[in-house]
Amino acid sequence: MALKIAYALDFERPLIELENKIEELKVLSETGAVNFTSEISRLEKQARKLQEKIFGTLTRWQVVQLSRHSARPYFSDYLHYLFTDFCELSGDRCFADDMAIVGGLAKFEGRPVVVMGHQKGRNTKENMARSFGMPRPEGYRKARRLMELAARFSRPIFTFIDTPGAYPGIDAEERGQAEAIAVNLERMAVLPVPVISTVIGEGGSGGALAIGLANRVLMLEHSIYSVISPEACSSILYRDATKASKAAEALRLTAKDIVRLKVIDEVIEEPMGGAHRDKEKAAVLLGKALKKHYEELSKMTPEQLIADRYERFRGMGVFSLS
């Protein structure tokens, strides 16, 4: 049966229209009035070719759009598929509970871990409650509290990044947004446990890095990771927010770009057409990668883990004066 997607991007529409036509012919064939088997077979081959053509030649701006797709799996989806016995821990013990970051205790492959991630909403009401996945200082302080708990009880940490950036409101600045992010980076640098971060959608600026200073950083194929959004970059560089697609090309923010720059360790393949077309398969592919990296890191001592994390980030940004 064709996948029903409430919202389709412009470049997805020809494929979805074709899939809907195939579904209609299947329904007619099931009534027994007319046999459309040969026509269905022909259209299915055409749909596969069209899908390969569309998703094999995506521009960077199209990848940005896919990373923000309203049907794309969020942290809560991967939490459901990959982790068991989840027990959410709320609040930063200072001010409030920020719903833009969700975290707690869980089990991965039967082993106790600490897991956390940015969480967006599926509708306007949820997005207002979760600030569209943009944490305030209390969200980062909650994340730090969970990390310190993991260090105390020697539990590996899995973080999932999906945010446009830290919340930019005046209330967040008044409560120390920059300080909260900086302290998280300082604390993550010396955590004596394995830390694995995965960019599952948007990875925006310090809002993403605040839970992304890890031993291993992974990215889903159609996710993005950048110091600034294409729209904001366009407004600054070109004085025109409508040139976001041009800014996206300059930023080189796709997973393929980032892995070549050695900022991340692995690009995780998504189901053809994007993770939103098969959430369960996307979770299976991600789970395999997480298991592989966790098994590698679990063999290291606390001292080796800290040194590994230091060397990983110290080796970035190589330049030559010649």
Same domain, 51 and 75: no
In this prediction, residue 2 carries a pLDDT of 43
Same domain, 24 and 94: no
Q: Provide the CA 100 distance to its chain's centre, in angstroms.
A: 14
CA–CA distance, 179 with 263 (Å, rounded to integer):
24
Q: Report yes or no: 113 and 106 within 8 Å, Cβ to Cβ.
A: yes
Predicted structure pTM score: 0.89
Percent of the chain scoring above 70 in pLDDT: 96
In this prediction, residue 322 carries a pLDDT of 62
In this prediction, residue 315 carries a pLDDT of 84
Q: Where are the alpha helices (DSSP H) in the chain?
A: 13-31, 37-56, 60-67, 75-82, 124-129, 137-152, 170-174, 177-189, 205-209, 230-237, 244-251, 255-260, 279-297, 302-314
HSE of 235, CA atoms in CB hemisphere, 13 A = 5
Same domain, 194 and 310: yes
Structural domain that includes position 44: 10-57
The pLDDT tens digits of the residues spanning 273-318 come to: 889 989 999 999 999 999 999 999 999 999 999 999 999 998 887 6
Least reliable range by pLDDT among 72-81, 156-165, 254-263: 254-263
Q: Give the H or E element holding residue 198.
A: strand 195-204
The pLDDT tens digits of the residues spanning 116-135 come to: 999 999 999 999 999 999 99
The pLDDT tens digits of the residues spanning 188-243 come to: 999 999 999 999 999 988 899 999 999 999 999 999 999 988 988 999 988 887 88
The C-alpha angle with vertex 272 and arms to 271 and 276, in degrees rounded to 5, equals 60
Same domain, 198 and 303: yes
Q: Report yes or no: 70 and 6 within 8 Å, Cβ to Cβ.
A: yes
Could you write out the DSSP letters of every residue in 234-303? HHHHTS-GGGHHHHHHHHT-BHHHHHHTTSSSEEEP--TT-GGG-HHHHHHHHHHHHHHHHHHHTTS-HH
Is the pLDDT at 3 greater than 60? The verdict is no
CA–CA distance, 283 with 81 (Å, rounded to integer):
6
Same domain, 168 and 30: no
In a domain, 210, yes or no: yes
Same domain, 52 and 72: no
In this prediction, residue 47 carries a pLDDT of 83
Same domain, 44 and 99: no
Same domain, 195 and 267: yes
Looking at the structure of the chain, the number of domains it has is 2
Radius of gyration of the chain measured on its C-alpha atoms: 21
In a domain, 4, yes or no: no
Domain termination residue (choose one: 57, 72, 90): 57
Is the pLDDT at 59 greater than 60? The verdict is yes
Q: pLDDT band at residue 33, thresholds of 50, 70 and 90?
A: low
In a domain, 3, yes or no: no
In a domain, 2, yes or no: no
Q: What is the CATH number of the domain that holds 164?
A: 3.90.226.10
Q: pLDDT band at residue 5, thresholds of 50, 70 and 90?
A: low
Pairing of strands 224-226, 111-118: unpaired
Same domain, 39 and 76: no
Same domain, 24 and 115: no
Same domain, 181 and 306: yes
Q: Report yes or no: 51 and 272 within 8 Å, Cβ to Cβ.
A: yes
